[in-house]
Amino acid sequence: MSESDLPPQPPRLKSADLPDIEGTDHDFENSVGPDHNTGVAPPGWVITEPTDISTLPPSSLFDLTQPVMDESAFFEEDTQRPLISLLEPMTVLRTEYENGNQVFVKQIDWLIDRGWVGIRRTRGDGDCFYRSLAYAYISSLLPQSSRSQPQQQQDDTSIINVTKAISYLESTSALLESVGFQKLVFEDFLDLFVGVLKGLISPSAGEGGRVRAKLVEEFNVAEVSNSIVMYLRLLTSAEIRSNPDNYEPFLFHPETGEQMNTRDFCEGFVEACGKEADHVQITALTKALKVDIKVAYLDGRIRSPSSSSPSSHLADVDFVEFVNDEGIEAGDKGKGKAVDGEGIILLYRPGHYDILERRLED
Amino acid sequence: MSDARLRRVNKEIADCKNDKASSVTIDLIDNSPFHLKGSFTGPEGTPYEGGHFEVDIVIPESYPFQPVKMKFITKVYHPNVSSASGAICLDILKDAWSPVLTLKSTLISLQSLLCSPEPNDPQDAEVAKHYMTSKTSFEETARYWTMIYAGGPGKEGLKGSPGLRDEVAMAGLEKAHVDKFEALGFDRSKVIDVLRRLNYRGANVPKINDDRIVEELLK
């Protein structure tokens, strides 16, 4: 069978072929690839993307947005999913992609090979970034495993971590008031947040495994979970509002791509329930909370061989770091340092955030 | 769940009561703190000036994570308020709601909505068309509604009993137009209804011929 006997390939638009997106990809890899510890990723690449997209023809736009649209439709219908789920093996996620985009499957394998064997999912309700971060933040204050240290030492470490976190969170209410939030709208959220933290170190809390199980339970009580999410939204907003010079150049309307002022952006896309977080909100929140986080981008996109080192895998996963530079001077203020150094790691798929873990199950 | 809701609502009611400078008030309708009545005065320099507007407030189960439900009790002539039901089209009452908003701040937003109608995102399409066709005529009608329903200025000047109101002015039409079709033998209230629906006002008048109107009247 000669090559000419083969049926012709159907014409297909590949978003990876579009030069401007490709360019974005290069910048992204060069500045924040796994080998570069360059600190906070430049917010530019995500934020300017809508502007680039608006110049594309409709057909390419469809090709670009369709996977994302499918993804969000999937998550929106999914109201039965717990707000925060128990830890599941990554292989479960893998099976969901087996009949779909094979790049996702390869990227999942890449993560599993490197020890990221567990995923803790959140409900796809627009609060997923804040909820994932909240859970991972609190969880990072607790001992990660019972192997390395004796029980007493672990207890002492988590009491110190949690106590610092409580005093830091309580101190942030002044920041919220300083940007004009009335105490009555946020004090209940803060009380519940602090209450969850206090519960972790109370004498009746029990040992590590039980504390974790209780934390998952509490995160599934809508009032508690949503109060914590809301407090993080307000903290994000307060950070942006109190440093407009740092953030205003990067505030764009997520749908129209138009530049926005600080107040409209914060009211419409930070403080409002269910509005998804983008690069700006993530940068602001990690700074306001004084935590370092890493986000693994499981985006189903093949890295172009020319843009990465020849030895690197084509379906590897970028870990974007959000590093809070104030952490050094304020090291004693509830910094979310994990007990065994792993830190807060989130897993991003187009339109959604979950939590990435090294353990298979709770 | 409702404990937190009750705590929050009580704080909000107290906050509103303590703010003497505010033009907004909140009162209980029955004995439930979750069904309230808000009120405010019509903003100055608008057709609603001098009116007293009341709003029905229902606090949903998962407040403040769900938006408060509000609708006008007082009838209002405004593109973003249903002239029949009082339903309000305002983003913060829907997908732009945030738990940082309070009953007081939401009522203040309603007050500002009266200052700045958004006819392109209407709740009442007929009123919005009126607004777009002739702003002067719209404002006259809105002012008339404020006088009739919200106790706005001018009521003393009304001839006859206060219950007697001018249906033509209520519909934002011109008396001469209504008289003309009534003279053809049609019922006056039917004429008012048809001309209102056809938006027979301002620049639209020459565009709608008499046959079209008669056709509608005969339906």
pLDDT tens track for A84-134: 999 999 999 999 999 988 999 999 999 999 999 999 999 999 999 999 999
Q: Where are the alpha helices (DSSP H) in A147-220?
A: 151-178, 183-201, 208-219
Which residue among B1, B62, B102 sits closest to A185, beta carbon to beta carbon? B102
Average pLDDT value for residue range A223-251? 96
Higher pLDDT, A305 or A39: A305
A44: pLDDT confidence band, cut at 50, 70 and 90? very low
The fraction of chain A above a pLDDT of 90, given in percent, is 54
Q: Is B98 on the interface with A (CB under 8 A)?
A: yes
Give the pLDDT confidence score for residue B96 in this predicted structure. Answer: 93
Does pLDDT of A311 surpass 60? no
ipTM: 0.85
Instruction: Please indicate whether, in this complex, the C-beta atoms of A186 and B100 are within 8 angstroms of each other.
Output: yes
Give the pLDDT confidence score for residue A302 in this predicted structure. Answer: 77
Q: Is B18 on the interface with A (CB under 8 A)?
A: no
- The pTM score is 0.79
Does pLDDT of A43 surpass 50? no
CB atoms within 10 A of CB A316: 19
Q: Is B99 on the interface with A (CB under 8 A)?
A: yes
Give the pLDDT confidence score for residue A81 in this predicted structure. Answer: 87
Does pLDDT of A150 surpass 80? no
Does pLDDT of A219 surpass 90? yes
Instruction: Please indicate whether, in this complex, the C-beta atoms of A230 and B1 are within 8 angstroms of each other.
Output: no
Helices vs strands, H then E, count in chain A? 14, 6
The fraction of chain A above a pLDDT of 70, given in percent, is 68
Does pLDDT of A54 surpass 70? no
Cα Rg of chain A (Å, integer) = 21
A285: pLDDT confidence band, cut at 50, 70 and 90? very high
Tens digit of each residue's pLDDT (9 = 90 or more) over B43-80: 999 999 999 999 999 999 999 999 999 999 999 999 99
Residues B68, B70, B76, B89: which is the catalytic one? Answer: B89
Chain B closest CA to A273's CA: distance in Å?
A: 6
Instruction: Please indicate whether, in this complex, the C-beta atoms of A267 and B12 are within 8 angstroms of each other.
Output: no
Produce one character per residue of A350-362: b if its CB has 16 or more CB atoms within 10 Å, e if not.
Answer: bbbbbbbbeeeee
Give the pLDDT confidence score for residue A332 in this predicted structure. Answer: 41
Mutate: best of B12, B68, B98, partner A, most A CBs <10 A: B98
Average pLDDT value for residue range A38-58? 41
**A83: nearest Cα among A223, A199, A194, A200:** A223
Tens digit of each residue's pLDDT (9 = 90 or more) over B190-212: 999 999 999 999 899 999 999 99
Which residue among B7, B8, B65 sits closest to A226, beta carbon to beta carbon? B65
Higher pLDDT, A24 or B8: B8
Ranges in chain B, pLDDT < 50: 1, 159-160
State the average pLDDT for chain A. 77
Give the N- to C-terminal CA distance of chain A in Å, as an integer: 54
Higher pLDDT, A120 or A16: A120
Please give the structure tokens belonging to residue A144: 């990660």
The answer to whether A260 touches A200, Cβ cutoff 8 Å, is no
